[in-house]
Amino acid sequence: MQRRQFLRKALTISGTIALPTGFYHAAFAASQPAAITDFSALQLSAAIHQRTVSCSEVMQAYIAHIDRYNPVYNAIVSLVDDGDLLAQARAADEALARGENRGWMHGMPHAVKDLSAVAGLRFTSGSPLYADRIADSDSGLAAKIRSAGAIFIGKTNSPELGLGSQTYNPVFGATGSACNPALTAGGSSGGAASGLGTHMLPVADGSDMMGSLRNPGAFNNVIGFRPSTSVMTNADASSRALSVSGPMGRNTADTIQLLETIAERPIGIDLAALNLRGVRLGWMGSFDNYLAMEPGVLPLCETALGGLTSAGCNIEALPPNFNMSDLWQCWTTLRHSGRAGMQDLYQDPATRSLLKPELAWEIEQSLLITPEDIALANRIRADWNNELDRLFAVYDFLILPTAQVFPYPKEIHWPQTINGKQMDTYHRWMEVVIPGSLGGIPVVNVPVGFDAQGRPMGIQVMGKFGDDRRVLEFALAYENITNHLQQRPQLVAAQ
């Protein structure tokens, strides 16, 4: 079909498929991608609903692509049988032929992060404790994705019980970065981000406590968005959980569409790129040398800031008006206290021997925490939230590097040192993400390019609590002035 005909059909898609304003002009102004797996999620949705491609053709293309690359990258685990997937795809085609529209993901392949249950699929959480567990029902997040019409093809790999920003576990092994499979994909949503970056998935879900949507986004050159906690739960806005689910995409528009699907309080999809002229950005850098940074990270980020300056943003270096070591104390106290409920696994010798050493350590730390420690941590967190409110009265967005190191060899569990500074815990190397996590605020990772070795990096763009729409509108604008997301890796095929 000629591009002009395809565009005309796109404009007549059923109104029940809500796509962002202006999407069609952006998505179809150029020729269609050569391969089905190169369609963005929204392009794929449009093509399926217009019957330009069938769900069966889509599934066949993704199965072939996964067969070729997944043995190298190890992004998707617990894969469903090909015959079952093709039967589900044919059923989706038959439904469309009857005029039945299941949603914007109708017939699209999807893999949920292996920390979330999908009925009938293995649900290991990357732990030998649960290696043979089969989920009886969908998690709330999976149910929403299923109701949007997706076909579940498997799960995306995660660290053991989600601990650590490096995706490896004793059940499935390590996941490689889409940019270099010898390097880590980050974590804990590493399988999701690698699956996106290698085009083995059109869109992906994840979760984020300590950068688990942001760090994999940076390490795989894709978008990762940590929403405000109020968007993803029905809890009162004053209750800001440390961990939250969120979307990832090959581009910002896809990310927005998946957020609309999984959110408890959707923000809408009628977003437009923000006018960057006069936007005030606070560049927090390394917190005035408090954070150790691998050489090359800050210059790459600052080059991206130069592009934003050229687009009209006003950027100021922003030394913190806060004792950042207090913030780390607050973080570790609250994080470790959340492991208290896992003491039964620690006390039982049979299960303790199967625990990741870092988890056993966190449980041990939880036993040492007193009510006074928790009260102090909550006071520090309240002070930090007040400081964020003060900063957002001056700046539209706050900017930080997404990680303190570039992707490193996936055989290394975590960096022991950064630029000569010893890391005293297994998660200290990702301290840069805790300001956003403790604030419960919306944070998007956007790419800043690659170093001389081809290793990717990103920046965190943080907005005021509840200002998710504006953060994503900034990401749309940033995407318009950069080409980082269009830089595809040279994929390594299985032998």
Residue with token string 């290698």 = 198
Dist. CA 202–CA 44, nearest whole Å: 8
* Residue 236 one-letter amino acid: D
Spatial CA neighbour of 165 closest among 475, 415, 491, 438: 415
Dist. CA 149–CA 96, nearest whole Å: 11
Q: How far is CA 185 from the centre of its chain?
A: 11
SS3 461: strand
Dist. CA 418–CA 434, nearest whole Å: 17
pLDDT in tens, 6-47: 333 433 333 334 443 334 334 443 446 779 999 999 999 999
pLDDT of residue 238: 77
pLDDT of residue 235: 81
Query: How many C-beta neighbours within 10 Å does residue 132 have?
Result: 10
Domains and CATH numbers, the chain: 3-235+243-262 (3.90.1300.10), 280-486 (3.90.1300.10)
pLDDT in tens, 442-461: 999 999 999 999 999 999 99
Instruction: Give me the count of residues in the chain.
Output: 495
pLDDT of residue 32: 65
Sheet strands (E) in 165-307:
176-177, 180-184, 203-208, 223-226, 244-249, 280-283
Spatial CA neighbour of 158 closest among 226, 232, 219, 76: 76
Rounded to the nearest 5 degrees, what angle is found at the Cα of 441, between the Cα atoms of 278 and 176? 100
pLDDT of residue 276: 98
pLDDT of residue 363: 96
- Token digits of residue 473: 């509108």
Q: How far is CA 61 from the centre of its chain?
A: 24
Dist. CA 199–CA 18, nearest whole Å: 23
Q: Are 22 and 272 contacting, i.e. CB atoms less than 8 angstroms apart?
A: yes
pLDDT of residue 456: 98
Dist. CA 35–CA 52, nearest whole Å: 13
DSSP string, 439-460: HT--EEEEEEEE-TT--EEEEE
- The series of mean pLDDT values per 10 residues for the chain, 495 residues long, is 36 37 39 85 98 98 98 98 98 98 98 98 98 98 98 98 97 98 98 98 98 98 97 85 97 98 96 98 97 98 98 94 96 95 94 95 96 98 97 98 98 98 98 98 98 98 98 98 97 97
pTM: 0.93
